[in-house]
């Protein structure tokens, strides 16, 4: 298996770098340099810039608005955007429900929803997790009942619906057969968040940003035409969607950028009259993390090479998810260690610390979530044990 980049791919990497340098507005560059939190309007501003370039959904088929890029080029595009600190686009429409509609949606659903996901005219969020059904997703209680008039009546609660307060639509797993085995009685439903009976209540994350919400459904009327895939067949769609999400969480580019930041912080920090970066023990910590990242990068390249040959993401996505989420957390643990006492404040106001360090404590706290969302790392280890190692279930 050849894991090296061809001259054409190296040229494309330069094309992406040049585009980002010229197309990203100065106010976004300033925030990117400090790894600041991007507001929703800023994320959508960048979304529209990438849409005009034709790179907003490069993984979609070209006939529905994707870019004519091969798998490796798409990986390069993602990696360079992460390395530049560009605003991360909302994945719920572009990476999750969009590809699912392309695979399982009706012609009417594709025509109705896909163009507005691409343009950013409609923003999506995910309705999977529930208060008592997080990792055990199939235990969800939110129910959708047939009213006999061509609608479902949806009642229940979703939690951790990221950025639901900015979304127009939510895709939900709902229980449509309470008598069946728990994985067999679930359906995949698209719900307009403006529907009467739907309430979104945002709350702050431990990083101090308004990323998460609780979403309540109290007799919301949803047309049956919003059902994706077969009735009670939603579990198959759910698994397909999670595979894409877990591969995304590998975030090799973001971790590479974070480790570079750690080195710069350590170079500015003095310990016993010398830069912390020259301390052998601290250097050893950075080296161990870089070795882990290099391993993750090679595993990611293997997954990409497999995808280039037409193989869909399999259980290896769980490996990428575990390692990628752990490295993100460990990079910011090192950044906090390098900052010392300056890292103890919840959030550093401008001018208190170096601009690059202002958001480190907030990101450290936010990144505690990476080993939980997208399916906890404990669940991923169960998947690896069963599907890769062939171990028996307990």
Helix (H, G, I), strand (E, B) or coil at 219: strand
- Pairing type for strands 124-127 and 169-175 reads parallel
Checking phi first, is residue 231 left (phi over 0); if not, alpha (psi -120 to 50) or beta?
Answer: beta
User: Quick one: CA dihedral 50, 307, 163, 127, positive or negative?
Assistant: positive
248/378 Cα distance (integer angstroms): 18
How far is the first Cα of the chain from the last one, in angstroms, to the nearest whole number? 36
CA distances from 359 to 97, 209, 248, 336 (A): 31, 11, 23, 11
Residue count (the chain): 394
CA nearest to 173, candidates 138, 202, 131, 146: 138
Helix (H, G, I), strand (E, B) or coil at 199: strand
Q: What is the secondary structure of 147-176 as a DSSP string?
A: -SSSEEEEEEEEE--TTGGG-SEEEEEEES
**Is residue 345 a contact partner of residue 361, using CB atoms and an 8 Å limit?**
yes
Other C-beta atoms within 10 Å of 12: how many? 19
245 assigned to active site: yes
**Is residue 9 a contact partner of residue 72, using CB atoms and an 8 Å limit?**
yes
**Is residue 207 a contact partner of residue 169, using CB atoms and an 8 Å limit?**
no
Among the options 245, 326, 337, 356, which is catalytic? 245
**Token pair of 110, please?**
């594709």
Residue with tokens 């429409």: 93
350/224 Cα distance (integer angstroms): 51
Q: Where are the beta strands (DSSP E) in the chain?
A: 124-127, 143-146, 151-159, 169-175, 186-192, 198-203, 212-223, 227-228, 270-271, 274-275
CA nearest to 104, candidates 189, 176, 186, 162: 189
Helix (H) or strand (E) holding 338: helix 316-339
Indicate which residues carry an active-site annotation. 245
């Amino acid at each position: 298996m050849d894991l090296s980049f061809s001259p054409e791919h190296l040229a494309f990497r330069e094309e992406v770098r040049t585009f980002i340098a010229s197309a990203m507005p100065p106010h976004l560059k300033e925030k990117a340099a400090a790894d600041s939190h991007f507001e929703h309007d800023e994320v959508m501003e960048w979304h529209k810039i990438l849409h005009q370039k034709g790179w907003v959904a490069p993984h979609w088929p070209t006939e529905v608005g994707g870019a004519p890029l091969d798998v490796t080029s798409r990986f390069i595009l993602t990696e360079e955007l992460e390395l530049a600190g560009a605003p991360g686009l909302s994945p719920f429409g572009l990476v999750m429900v969009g590809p699912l509609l392309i695979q399982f949606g009706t012609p009417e659903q594709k025509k109705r929803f896909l163009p507005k996901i691409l343009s950013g005219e409609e923003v999506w969020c995910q309705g999977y997790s529930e208060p008592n059904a997080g990792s055990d997703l199939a235990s969800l209680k939110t129910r959708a009942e047939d009213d006999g008039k061509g609608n479902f009546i949806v009642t229940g609660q979703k939690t951790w619906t990221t950025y639901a307060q900015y979304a127009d639509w939510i895709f939900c797993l709902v229980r449509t057969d309470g008598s069946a085995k728990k994985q067999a009685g679930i359906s995949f439903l698209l719900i307009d968040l403006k529907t009467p009976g739907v309430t979104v209540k945002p709350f702050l994350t431990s990083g101090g940003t308004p990323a998460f919400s609780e979403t309540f459904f109290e007799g919301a009327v949803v047309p049956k035409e919003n059902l994706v895939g077969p009735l009670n067949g939603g579990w198959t769609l759910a698994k397909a969607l999670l595979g894409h999400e877990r591969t995304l969480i590998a975030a090799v580019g973001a971790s590479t950028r974070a480790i570079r930041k750690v080195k710069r912080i350590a170079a500015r920090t003095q310990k016993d009259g010398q830069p912390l970066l020259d301390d052998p023990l601290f250097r050893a910590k950075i080296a161990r993390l870089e070795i882990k990242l290099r391993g993750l990068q090679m595993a990611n390249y293997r997954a990409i090479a497999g995808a280039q040959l037409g193989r869909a993401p399999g259980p290896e996505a769980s490996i990428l998810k575990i390692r990628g989420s752990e490295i993100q957390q460990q990079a910011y643990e090192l950044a906090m260690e390098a900052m010392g006492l300056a890292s103890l404040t919840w959030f550093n106001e401008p001018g208190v610390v170096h601009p690059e360090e202002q958001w480190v404590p907030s990101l450290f706290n936010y990144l505690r979530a990476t080993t939980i969302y997208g399916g906890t790392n404990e669940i991923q280890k169960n998947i690896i044990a069963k599907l890769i190692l062939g171990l028996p279930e307990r």
